[in-house]
Chains A and B, each alone.
Chain A
Amino acid sequence: MGLESNVTQPFLATRLDEVINWGRKFSMWPMPFGTACCAIEFMGVVSGRFDISRFGAELVRFSPRQADLLLVMGTITQKQAPVLKQIYDQMPDPKWVISMGACASSGGFYDNYSVVQGIDEIIPVDVYVAGCPPRPENVLGAVVKIMEKISAEKAADWR
């Protein structure tokens, strides 16, 4: 009655959410929504010195339909807010959002008639990054936070 006799190939036993989360968190495809100087700083995050590909997230897509990590980098005006919402809606689940810098997170010093006071008025945000602009290390820190969040997800919560 040995089960082993039916197994001819080696195998691993694991949990489904464990292995899928592992795959997801090391292969995020970011969609940069860059509207200001934070987007310039993001170029540093992607380039050799800081190199976001060490975390598996270097495949930057400019179509939201191919991305699962939305990086909002810069000032979002009221005129642009519905565009950001539309971009977010076009991304397939599962998806995560990083709000990079003071402007995207709170409006920054643009406390005026034309600027959205934080993108969380429009779309859900997973990680906020402080700074004006943030250092590349901060952005990588945010990516790691997203990874931690993905690791903690359970199959029962999947959308």
Chain B
Amino acid sequence: MNESDILAQIKERFGARVLAEYNFRGQYAVTVAPETLRELLVYLRDDKAIELDWLMDVGGVDYLGYSDQAAPDEDEREWRFEVAYQLYSMRLNHRFRVKVAVRDESVEVPSVWDLWAIANWEEREVWDMFGVRFTGHPNLRRILCHDEFVGHALRKDYPINKRQKLSQPSEMILCEKVEWA
């Protein structure tokens, strides 16, 4: 099974719940709503013919003021943020990308840290940089910026020259006990 077959299977199974599909130079991706995310990721991870068992990266995108080349006149997108999950199959050597449409910061995305433990830190990074909240996350704190930082640095409306000083060293967390699911 190659990536285009995976796309076909997803469309067959999820139908209209696939909001958009992409194929850019052989890189396949779909966009879904937050409600569909976990079901889709569990399917892609556990189906024996697909077996996308490695969550390589989770990233955020802010589309504020973005003009789509395909539709440059379109002023407003339906969603402002996207969270992108890069998946890889170690046994079958194929990749797939799943994106979640996040209309604005009031929309929460379900956490997948119980499916892949690495999502714990990756989701903290997306929260820190873009302010997208994840429901069910055990420890949704900033991971890169300091504790006194206000706002989210990689949002397009964050002032490019705004600096925020930290008044005192952050408390060092030497050991943090986490109960893994």
* Residue positions of A touching B, CB distance < 8 A: 78-79, 81-83, 86, 111-114, 117
- Evaluate whether A82 and B167 lie within 8 angstroms (CB atoms) in the complex, with A113-B153, A113-B162, A114-B153 already known: yes
The digit string for B152-173, where 1 denotes a CB below 8 A from any CB of A, is: 0100001011111111111000
Q: How far is the CA of A111 from the CA of B160 in the complex (A)?
A: 9
Asked if A113 and B164 make an inter-chain contact with CB atoms under 8 angstroms apart, the answer reads yes
Residues of A within 8 A of B163 (CB): 78, 113, 117
* Residue positions of B touching A, CB distance < 8 A: 144-146, 149, 153, 158, 160-170
CB distance from B148 to the nearest CB of A (A): 9
29 examples of A-B residue contacts, CB within 8 angstroms: A78-B146, A78-B163, A78-B164, A78-B165, A78-B166, A79-B145, A79-B146, A79-B166, A79-B170, A81-B165, A82-B166, A82-B167, A82-B168, A82-B169, A83-B169, A86-B169, A111-B161, A112-B153, A112-B160, A113-B145, A113-B153, A113-B158, A113-B162, A113-B163, A113-B164, A114-B144, A114-B145, A114-B153, A117-B163
Most chain A beta carbons < 10 A, residue from B144, B162, B163, B165: B163
Most chain B beta carbons < 10 A, residue from A79, A83, A86, A113: A113
Residues of B within 8 A of A111 (CB): 161
Q: How far is the CA of A41 from the CA of B26 in the complex (A)?
A: 42
Residues of A within 8 A of B160 (CB): 112
CB distance from A116 to the nearest CB of B (A): 8
CB distance from A138 to the nearest CB of B (A): 28
Residues of A within 8 A of B165 (CB): 78, 81
CB distance from B22 to the nearest CB of A (A): 29
Q: Name A107's closest neighbour in chain B (CB-CB).
A: B163
Q: How far is the CA of A76 from the CA of B9 in the complex (A)?
A: 49
Q: How far is the CA of A118 from the CA of B169 in the complex (A)?
A: 18
CB distance from B170 to the nearest CB of A (A): 7
Q: How far is the CA of A113 from the CA of B129 in the complex (A)?
A: 11
Q: How far is the CA of A114 from the CA of B148 in the complex (A)?
A: 12
Q: How far is the CA of A83 from the CA of B170 in the complex (A)?
A: 9
Asked if B166 and A81 make an inter-chain contact with CB atoms under 8 angstroms apart, the answer reads yes
The 5 lowest CB-CB distance pairs between A and B, nearest first, are: A79-B146, A82-B169, A113-B153, A83-B169, A82-B168
CB distance from A80 to the nearest CB of B (A): 9
Residues of A within 8 A of B161 (CB): 111
Q: Name B142's closest neighbour in chain A (CB-CB).
A: A79
Q: How far is the CA of A79 from the CA of B158 in the complex (A)?
A: 18
Q: Name B147's closest neighbour in chain A (CB-CB).
A: A79
CB distance from B150 to the nearest CB of A (A): 11
Q: Name A85's closest neighbour in chain B (CB-CB).
A: B169
Q: Given contacts A79-B170, A114-B144, A117-B163, could you give 10 more A-B pairs where the C-beta distance is less than 8 Å?
A: A78-B163, A78-B164, A78-B165, A78-B166, A79-B145, A81-B166, A82-B169, A113-B162, A114-B145, A114-B153
Q: Name B154's closest neighbour in chain A (CB-CB).
A: A113
